Amino acid sequence: MSKYLKYGMLAISLLIGFSNNAMADDEGKALFGQCRGCHAVGADAKHQFGPVLNGVMDQAFMIAGDYDYSAAFNKAGESGLSWTDETMSDFLAAPMSYIPGTKMAFPGVQNEEDRNKIIAYLRLFDTDGKRQDTASDETAALTPVVTEERKLASDFAVPEHGVFKLGRVALTEEINAWDIDVRPDGTGLPPGSGDAITGGELYDAQCASCHGDFGEGTGRWPILAGGHDTLTDDRPEKTIGSYWPYLSTVYDYVRRAMPFGNARSLSDDDVYAITAYLLYLNDEVDEDFELSSENFSDIVLPNEANFIADNRNNEGFRSISIDELCMTNCADDAAVVTQRANVLDVTPDE
């Protein structure tokens, strides 16, 4: 075999090794999104509600000496348990039954393959949070680069702009990144699309652990589907299908705030796909439905009509001039008392 062929094969096997790692990285990283609300990994990781998970695999329980573990975890640690593939998988499947009394209030990851991918991702980080694969250090981008000595406000000239002469004018990019609200008529939607099937896959990996496979909610996490015709019950189930007036709120909320702990990690198309899937879970569309910025405003949620505009500013208890409340000299169509508290029986007898 020629020398060059050998090097070539070595390069190919290195490439294969690398792409395997990169795959574990992509999928494991996405799945780790469910954990990120409470846990960090990487060089700059700090304890959050849960401990830093750098180098946790193949270690005894409670790797973070300066983290305040629960009594239940301390007990498990004393019994000499350690984190193997097996114990970690069992723990992640149902943390609260694996270690009763743990403060990791997380329902668990049902799918075994998903658990394995998360474990593979955890294995990428050594105890210092340095990554073992060749991919770039993901926390590097977050580390501020200090290039000059810190200056005081008095070192700077007073800006010319604005009313208060403070700071600098925001860049268009900064305003755009912040200005992401979507209104009921679709104003503010980014271009894009996504179908319910893709949305289902994203949902299973990143949402189902809290919101349930069918949006029914795991434990006490919020319910996202069902509850039709329950609004007049003593305990109404307020879901997207039963209660929410506008689909724009679903898109806006998911894009802004979910998955819990890893907000703004979804692409615009991901959010279209997940929104389409949430419509499907609520029986509003078929499985093969594709939602896009084009057909978005065609969707009307069932409860929209029960939301009415707040018109109190135009009511007659205000004086002729609309800005003032009145006791005398009120507008002509002054408020009419239709019932009294004691008739309604809300006044106590004594």
Instruction: State the residues that interact with ligand HEC by CB under 6 A.
Output: 34-35, 37-39, 49-51, 53, 56, 61-64, 69-70, 72-73, 92, 102-106, 109, 118, 206-207, 209-211, 221-222, 224, 250, 253-254, 258-261, 274
Inter-residue contact 221 to 211 (CB < 8 Å): yes
Q: Which is nearer to ligand HEC, 186 or 227 (CB)?
A: 227
CB of 139 to ligand HEC, least distance (A): 17
Query: How far, in Å, CA of 33 to CA of 117, rounded?
Result: 12
Residue 103 tokens read as: 């403060």
Q: Which is nearer to ligand HEC, 32 or 186 (CB)?
A: 32
Q: Where are the beta strands (DSSP E) in the chain?
A: 193-195, 290-292
Question: In b/e form, how buried is each residue of 289-306, taking b as 16+ CB within 10 angstroms?
Answer: bbbebeebeebebbbeee
Query: How far, in Å, CA of 296 to CA of 294, rounded?
Result: 6
Nearest Cα to 248, choosing from 192, 197, 187, 289? Answer: 187
CB of 37 to ligand HEC, least distance (A): 5
Query: How far, in Å, CA of 346 to CA of 67, rounded?
Result: 51
CB of 64 to ligand HEC, least distance (A): 5
Q: Which is nearer to ligand HEC, 290 or 331 (CB)?
A: 290
Q: Which is nearer to ligand HEC, 19 or 74 (CB)?
A: 74
CB of 279 to ligand HEC, least distance (A): 12
CB of 281 to ligand HEC, least distance (A): 10
Residue 324 tokens read as: 């003032």
Q: Which is nearer to ligand HEC, 64 or 331 (CB)?
A: 64
